[in-house]
Chain A
């Protein structure tokens, strides 16, 4: 026993080295399984605080741009509202008051950190569990989809950016309704790749890609981007489609987090389906 202890003391450097390296590696592998290591991401207190102080200063430089974008969005929303009042869709014909509740709420949030040059990009937001943010909520701007919430702390949250190949989003083509999945290919931050659209579907440059509404993260029809290149994959029956994103990831500032009020209900229902398959 004494020899063993002496052995460890004599070789403590190599043991410490191995322990630290194994620990680092295990962190990397565990991180891949979606939201495990709670304290080790940029929504933790220290790093989120630093980023929010920094962003409160750097925001002044983009005020003009942001103002203009907000004004444009206001105008667009006002037109939509007019439309709805005219067509009477704001008045629901059910008597059940609960059914009048909107399906989706939008939590406005500000981006306090954003990356576009990593291979797996993340975004940190200044809203957390106190504001009703939960993992797997969608994040979008007026232009289009931005990402999905991954980790949440009390006042902050981090989102997996669309520019992260770990995120796949269910989308469809606005014109034909054909659906596929969108995935970043680690290339340009302005483009992503649309997969799983079979050959028999007609597709042309300039077609708009929108969310499908098949997952409870995004409502149907939020714009994402437009088709810029249609290619053929050798040896597969799907197109290789390049999509130019509407949202400019280099200049993201304010976003909306989408809270689907009936998410639990829908998830529970769809879980039953999974059970049926077994």
Chain B
């Protein structure tokens, strides 16, 4: 239990720092930033209680908001994605459904499963994020494109990270 808390706590801090200190300074083209911190929500164990998933997502989003002066935008998008997570997991369930104690990783469920999982989750998060940010700002199509391109870069980073860092 303590080990889990330390592991996921460390990951939380690590991802937030990577996001605010490095990725937020990368401007791929104009207005496009990958939101790699979202990986935290993807990697939570299957058996995490749903209320805990929501709360963790909320605090993750709020922390990012604090660093980037975006009020509750990230918090909203993260909670939404965390709420949708069980449905998406259900949608992607293969014949050999999730064994108890296994984790949502490439190593346990395969590359293509992880890709589809990451894709759906990132799209939900990014579209919520970008459209919420836009709220008082016009240009439906421009936002659509930005959300799509950002999602693309986020997913690339998330997939890469699976082969570099989290090989457990």
Q: Chain A: residues with CB nearer than 8 A to chain B? A: 12-13, 16-17, 20-21, 23-28, 30-32, 37, 39-42, 44, 46-47, 50-51, 54, 115-120, 122, 158, 165, 186, 188
Contacts and interface: CB of A to CB of B under 8 A. Distances in A.
Interface of B: 17, 20-21, 24, 27, 30-33, 50-51, 54-55, 58, 61-62, 65-73, 75-76, 79-80, 83, 132-137
A1 B137 CA distance: 46
Contact of A27 (B21, B30, B72, B83): B72
Given A28-B71, A44-B66, A12 B31 contact: no
Interface residues of A: mostly helix, strand, loop or mixed? helix
Q: Is the interface of B mostly helix, strand, loop or mixed?
A: helix
Contact of A47 (B31, B67, B71): B67
Given A42-B68, A50-B17, A117-B33, A28 B135 contact: yes
Report the 10 A-B pairs with minimum CB-CB distance, sorted nearest first: A27-B72, A24-B72, A31-B71, A24-B76, A122-B69, A24-B75, A28-B71, A117-B27, A13-B50, A47-B67
Most B-side CB within 10 Å, residue of A20, A26, A28, A118: A20
Contact of B134 (A39, A119, A158): A119
B12 to A, nearest CB: 13
Nearest to B86: A13
Given A24-B61, A27-B71, A27-B75, A54 B66 contact: no
Nearest to A43: B69
Nearest to A17: B83
B31 A41 contact: no
A26 B72 contact: yes
B76 A25 contact: yes
A16 B72 contact: no
A103 to B, nearest CB: 31
Given A47-B66, A117-B33, A158-B69, A16 B54 contact: yes
Contacts of A42: 66-69
Contacts of A51: 20, 67
Given A46-B66, A115-B24, A28 B51 contact: no
